[in-house]
Structure 1
Amino acid sequence: MDEGTGEVLSQAVLAQRIGWCVDLVAGMVSGLLAERWNPADVEVLASGVDASGRKLPSNAWMALRRLGWTVAPPEGVRVNDRIVRMAQEQAGRALRSASWRAGLTSGVLATWPADPRQRTAQEWEQVRKAVPGGEHLPSSMIKSRTRQAARFLAANGRLPVDVFELEGVPRVARMLLLAACDRQQASIERSDTDPARVLLRLQLPTRPDPRAYADWTWVACPISLPPTVPAGAVVHLPSLRLTGRQVHADVAYTHAVPKARRTGHSVALGVDWGLNTLLSAGA
């Protein structure tokens, strides 16, 4: 429901208005990534400190602001600062994730094997030494990066310089990271009568190119939680994604669990990340 007019919005209209907001954010993310998608800037962000040696904040948008990496909407378009935060958060996460791939790719390129399809034992030892943490890295990851570079070699007649040339500027996901916002842009609260219901309130544009703050209104979106979410859990601001005319809310929550005892157990459960499956567990 549009709180300003009292109008009940259809699913299509809600998706349209969220889509306008997503387009504004995605445009700024694209600009930031195009400007900062290079080895020097990614290394600066991955170092975790700014020019004066101070530790960078854990939030990506705050880290980018500390470094002075700003972005703005198109001329004539008016957005509040929280919209810019979401763009910086999304771009910052993408740039941070590139650091590990850059190290892996550099190690693979620096120890390029005579036959990319079949490394010798000595070549495996070389590449593992060249890749950060390579001694514990699954072979499948090194093979996958090798195949990617081999395709580039076949198409261009040479190996790529680095991961930035190999992958190019990443595509921007159409989403709103509301976790980067505060109550001036979005809020979420549980229903007093039904703990399985929450109310998400957020500001959305009333036109694709808002010219003033008056072109933004508060919209209330009720969300039904699945039964797997405990009634006493603290629900956090979701990420909103668009799939056609449907809006999906990825909701995170926090809940307390009893402190685990070190001794006195008769059964243990071991859980590990899997390569082919998300989780592997055994009693």
Structure 2
Amino acid sequence: MHKDIATPIRTQEILKKYGFSFKKSLGQNFLIDPNVLRNIVSHANLTKESAAIEIGPGIGALTEHLARTAGHVVAFEIDQRLLPVLEDTLSPYDNVSVIHSDILKANVLDVMKEKISGYQDVMVVANLPYYVTTPILIKLLMEKLPIRGMVVMMQKEVADRITAVPSTKAYGSLSIAIQYYMKAEIAMTVPKTVFIPQPNVDSAVIRLTRHEKAIVSVKDEDFLFTVSRASFAQRRKTILNNLQSQLPNGKAKKDLILQALETAGIDPTRRGETLSIKEFAGLADELLPNFKD
């Protein structure tokens, strides 16, 4: 068994050896607690028959634990300075592919075909850079990758929004976008003390699991998200007011919006945050003919 990368002493040794300095712009916070890492990996339920996709491996702290558990790990790293570090720290493992790429620009499906095509069970497991957590999640979901789900660390506040239920303060268009595709639950919370440098906020790990069958059927997914974003534009406003001000030509089409709300069985004086995904789906389908070019 090799010495864990993720101890404070070993992490400092590696950073010193390579003269590595953290880039704030890349949201780099490295984990220095092997127990937290083991815990994260355990929530992904991986076996040697599974492959893992990691985003932002840093110096390989989580990558190492994934490599010990999964059959193959594909890690996307944007920071070129970390490539030689990873080559060194992960040298004991022959089942890791490091891809030097910005995950937001990468063709993840192509990489999966090239590196892990033999695996039926794939999980995304990552300590996500906090400043781009949402765009990364949305990209991975929109691309409908053949994955079982994700176990990802993020700012606790974002985790609360993703897992929120209707009529709570945290519930919003992000909750809907993610829960439409996956079941979302907070697996664990993580104190800021287990990172170097310490972030200013506490973190949480969420587990996202693909729905076995779609929880709602909707004629146009993109339009569903347009309607939900519009409905939360100003949280204190009624759904009617928000839709009028946010949808193209909404003021002129007030009667059509009212009609759609009535047909969908939604009181126009309700606020967006009280609607379930099912209600949003019904509303989007009613609005679609009048607002989709």
- Normalising by structure 1, report the TM-score: 0.20
Q: Which structure would you say has the larger RCO, counting Cα contacts within 8 Å and 6 or more residues apart?
A: 1
* Pair member with larger Rg: 1
